[in-house]
């Protein structure tokens, strides 16, 4: 049950309530209409829902993904790091996603060289081959499109990019799922232990792979990251490991959900795809509208790097805010009739890839994967239809489908 008091700006809403996480957009619509800046009691954080405010705060350099570069644990009143998450924390400490300038600037400059447009575009044939190969194995009876299509494409592509055997894909998935669970709401001790074990094993695997690439470089992403150099600077071993893990965890999890969500919304709304299948621009437009309408990532947090005030809220250094990325595309201030899925929407405002210095470095690759996967799927399977209502993951921050049962009509 949602309780919202616009006077005190207090929100009570259980993010683990199935009625909410299965379809959060009704709640978002009410919050956006009545009070788009609220203190969400269950999260214990001030939360921002409106597009322009979220977009501005993502760019506001008074906020950051880390805080210990400007304040100590003692100053913040934080306890010592937990020993049972030591391996996970070691990976996280060198993640580009969690760093601020000047470290972030250096890391992103080096990593970006592995994602130049020509390198990304060169992956188009590989993505299309994967899509065709997977469709060739679709069963005749109703099947789960998440398991048979949305999940294999991103993980196989990442495995290929890293230069590791495709047979490692299931293990990469297990490590990724365990680690990403750490960012969920209300994580448990068991989740933390599993994430730490996954981080240790994943880290060992990447270190061994990096050692092999140093002896025999290949035409893969790890080799490119090893060789990446800017003004005499290189990625350290720890940064290489964290970057490789980040590229899988962030790229795979979000892309699987984005693809599953996009297929679901196309089938549910019985979208006419003739124009999208005929032209690259129309397909790109369809992908952007899907990312606006049903984005895969719904929550991102920021630390206040100094004592400050925003929207009448006073924050101490180290205080956190939450940016509800999943709501911004449904903001009627920037998207007319936001509840309507319109693949021909000319201006499509959303924050699915973030904004500012932490804008997703893999956004061009994610967009290419979605465009290729959707075009091949609906070209090969024009009569695809929902076989049952989809099952939504109990994971509000990563909004996606656990199962999407479909059938190919004759």
Q: What is the pLDDT along the chain (410 residues), one digit of tens a residue?
A: 899 999 999 999 999 999 999 999 999 999 999 999 999 999 999 999 999 999 999 999 999 999 999 999 999 999 999 999 999 999 999 999 899 999 999 989 888 877 788 888 989 999 999 999 999 999 999 999 999 999 999 999 988 888 888 888 889 989 998 998 888 777 899 999 999 999 999 999 999 999 999 899 988 888 888 887 655 677 888 998 998 898 888 778 899 999 999 999 999 999 999 888 888 899 999 999 999 999 999 999 999 999 999 999 999 999 999 999 999 999 999 999 999 999 989 889 999 999 999 999 989 999 999 999 999 999 999 999 999 999 899 888 889 999 999 999 77
Q: Do β-strands 10-12 and 37-40 pair in parallel, antiparallel, or remain unpaired?
A: parallel
Contacts of 102 by beta carbon, 8 Å cutoff, 6+ apart: none
DSSP codes joined into one string, 221-264: HHHHHHH--BTTB---HHHHHHHHHHHHHHHHHHHHHHHHHHHH
Cite the beta strand spans of 21-139 per DSSP E. Answer: 37-40, 45-48, 63-64
Q: Would you say 32 and 49 are in contact if contact means Cβ atoms under 8 Å apart? A: yes
Matching residue, tokens 């709401």 = 185
Query: Which pLDDT score is estimated for 292?
Result: 98
What is the spatial distance between Cα 87 and Cα 84, in angstroms, rounded to a whole number? 8
Q: Would you say 37 and 46 are in contact if contact means Cβ atoms under 8 Å apart? A: yes
Query: Which pLDDT score is estimated for 116?
Result: 80
Q: Of 16, 6, 109, 23, nearest to 293 (Cα)?
A: 23
Three-class secondary structure of residue 327 per DSSP: helix
326, with CB counted inside 10 A (0-12, 13-18, 19+), is buried
Query: Which pLDDT score is estimated for 70?
Result: 94
Query: What structural domains does the chain harbor?
Result: 3-408 (1.10.630.10)
φ, ψ of residue 12 in degrees (nearest 5):
-120, 115
Q: Would you say 329 and 351 are in contact if contact means Cβ atoms under 8 Å apart? A: yes
List, for residues 287-345, the tens digit of each pLDDT value.
Answer: 999 999 999 999 999 999 999 999 999 999 999 999 999 999 999 999 999 999 999 89
């Amino acid at each position: 049950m949602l309780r919202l008091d616009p006077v005190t700006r207090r929100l009570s809403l259980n993010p683990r309530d199935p009625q909410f996480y299965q379809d959060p957009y009704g709640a978002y619509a009410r919050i956006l209409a009545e009070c788009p800046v609220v203190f969400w009691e269950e999260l214990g954080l001030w939360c921002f829902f409106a597009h322009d405010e979220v977009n501005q705060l993502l760019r506001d350099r008074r906020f950051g993904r880390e805080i210990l570069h400007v304040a100590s644990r003692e100053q913040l009143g934080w306890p010592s790091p937990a020993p049972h998450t030591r391996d996970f924390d070691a990976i996280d400490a060198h993640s580009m996603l969690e760093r601020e300038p000047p470290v972030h600037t250096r890391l992103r400059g080096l990593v970006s060289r592995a994602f130049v447009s020509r390198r990304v575009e060169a992956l188009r044939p590989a993505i299309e081959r994967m899509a065709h190969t997977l469709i060739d194995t679709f069963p005749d009876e109703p099947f789960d499109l998440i398991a048979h299509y949305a999940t294999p494409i991103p993980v196989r592509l990442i495995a290929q990019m890293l230069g590791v055997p495709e047979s490692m894909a299931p293990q990469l998935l297990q490590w990724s799922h365990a680690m990403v669970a750490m960012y969920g709401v209300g994580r448990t001790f068991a989740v933390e232990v599993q994430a730490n074990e996954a981080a240790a094993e994943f880290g060992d695997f990447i270190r061994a792979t990096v050692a092999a690439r140093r002896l025999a470089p290949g035409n893969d992403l790890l080799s490119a990251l090893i060789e990446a150099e800017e003004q005499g600077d290189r990625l350290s071993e720890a940064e290489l490991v964290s970057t490789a893990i980040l590229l899988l965890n962030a790229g795979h999890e979000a892309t699987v959900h984005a693809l599953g969500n996009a297929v679901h919304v196309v089938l549910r709304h019985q979208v006419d795809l003739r124009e999208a299948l005929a032209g690259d621009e129309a397909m790109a437009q369809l992908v952007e509208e899907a990312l606006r309408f049903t984005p895969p990532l719904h929550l991102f947090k920021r630390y206040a790097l100094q004592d400050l005030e925003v929207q009448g809220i006073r924050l101490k250094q180290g205080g956190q805010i939450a940016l509800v990325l999943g709501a911004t595309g449904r903001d009627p201030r920037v998207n007319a009739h936001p509840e309507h899925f319109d693949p021909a929407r000319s201006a499509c405002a959303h924050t699915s890839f973030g904004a500012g210095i932490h804008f997703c470095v893999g956004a061009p690759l994610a967009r290419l994967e979605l465009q290729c996967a959707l075009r091949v799927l609906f070209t090969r399977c024009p009569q695809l239809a929902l076989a049952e209502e989809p099952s939504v993951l109990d994971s509000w921050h990563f909004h996606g489908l656990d199962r999407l049962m479909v059938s190919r009509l004759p």
